[in-house]
Amino acid sequence: MNIVVFGAGVQGTLYAVRLARAGHSVKLIARDRRADELRRMGAVIRDSATGRSDSVHLPVYDVLPNDLRADLCFVFVRREQIDASLDALTRAKAVDRFVWMVNHACGSEQIRQGLGNNRVVLGFPGAAGSIQDGIDVYLDIPEQPTVIEASAPDVVTLLRGAGFKTQQVLDMDAWLMRHAVMITAIACAILARGGSALEVGSDRALVQDMILAIREGWRVLDGLHLAAAPLALRAIFSWVPLHFATQYWSRLLGSDRGEVYFAHHTRRSVNEIRALVADVTVLISNPNRAPRLSSLYSVLQTESYSAAT
């Protein structure tokens, strides 16, 4: 299969390498220093849990050619980059479908209208990490594997064949909205402690506030009749007594996994967190409906983060 990966950060590089190793023809779209690294070093990934590395040299383009033929284009960009990315992707008429692996909570109408409803597949990656000296140091997230909307079983099969644990989701828009409430609460708690997940994990009161804020946000989404959160997350956030939920999240955030899952991305992506907070704020409509969540969001108005880029 001919595949283009649009965006070659942590997620894009990982998915590109594994798809290439599974026998697919993969091309990367990357810019600036990252494009230079990929041309010089190849796409290099290293599993931070096992230390195993892999690398493959792939064609790298600075922009997506309008006439480049591909069966699939996997899109890995940040929330605040959606508009600019759509401008480029809408001109790529030779791409059959776009697998949109982007964190957003504003609904997919704009994306589907721009690219064509039958050309869009929504999903979300199941890994985290950071680029270190040009190497993609990643960690698979067993608690939240790759998800793909159920209307694209062939994409699910493709990713499983490349080694990704992948689940099907009936309503990806609802999944993304639930996820945005959760991830923005966690990220703002981390920012409130100087970007340290470890510091959050050691602050029991803050962890409790974070959990209660997520419960508030999800209750608002319940009122909008959105599909429920995944079972495991519903259990730990909504059904498990607060004491045990606090223990779980304190341990996770205070561990190396908490740093990789959440803190790495939060520190380097404040603008994305801000854009996701804006999405969630529109969904909630009235901050009094989720006062704890709104209080967590106020960290973005502090001097440390109000002008972050």
Q: What are phi and psi of 60, to 5 degrees?
A: -120, 125
In this prediction, residue 237 has a pLDDT band, given cuts at 50, 70 and 90, of: confident
pLDDT at 175: 97
Confidence of residue 55 (pLDDT cuts 50, 70, 90): very high
- Find the mean pLDDT for residues 36-62: 97
**Other CB atoms closer than 10 Å to residue 287's CB: what's the count?**
13
Residue 199: the pLDDT is: 97
Rounded to whole angstroms, the Cα distance separating 169 from 155 reads 12
How buried is 202 (Cβ within 10 angstroms: 0-12 exposed, 13-18 middle, 19+ buried)? middle
Q: What is the pLDDT of residue 306?
A: 54
Q: Are strands 70-75 and 2-6 parallel, antiparallel or unpaired?
A: parallel
Residues 55, 17 contacting (CB under 8 angstroms): yes
Quick one: 2-170 is in which CATH superfamily? NAD(P)-binding Rossmann-like Domain (3.40.50.720)
Residue with tokens 């508030």: 216
* pLDDT value of position 303: 62
Whole-number percent of the chain with pLDDT over 90: 92
Phi, psi at residue 4, to the nearest 5°? Answer: -110, 140
Residue pLDDT, tens place only, 67-83: 999 999 999 999 999 99
Chain centre to alpha carbon of residue 177: 12
Q: How far apart are CA 240 and CA 99, in angstroms?
A: 34
Confidence at residue 274, expressed as pLDDT on a 0 to 100 scale: 96
What is this structure's pTM? 0.94
Q: What is the DSSP letter of 299?
A: G
Pairing state between β 135-140 and 127-132: antiparallel
Note the pLDDT tens digit of each residue in 11-46.
999 999 999 999 999 999 999 999 999 999 999 999
Greater confidence (236 vs 37) lies with 37
Q: What is the mean pLDDT of residues 301-308?
A: 65
Q: Are strands 120-124 and 95-100 parallel, antiparallel or unpaired?
A: parallel
Mean residue pLDDT of the chain comes to 95
Determine the average pLDDT of the residues in 199-211: 97
Read off the pLDDT of each residue in 120-147 and give the average, rounded to a whole number: 96
pLDDT at 307 over 50: no
Token pair 């064509």 is at which residue? Answer: 116
**Tens of pLDDT, residues 90-128:** 999 999 999 999 999 999 999 999 999 999 999 999 999
309 — pLDDT class (breaks 50, 70, 90): very low
Kindly report, residue by residue over 256-287, the tens digit of the pLDDT.
999 999 999 999 999 999 999 999 999 999 98
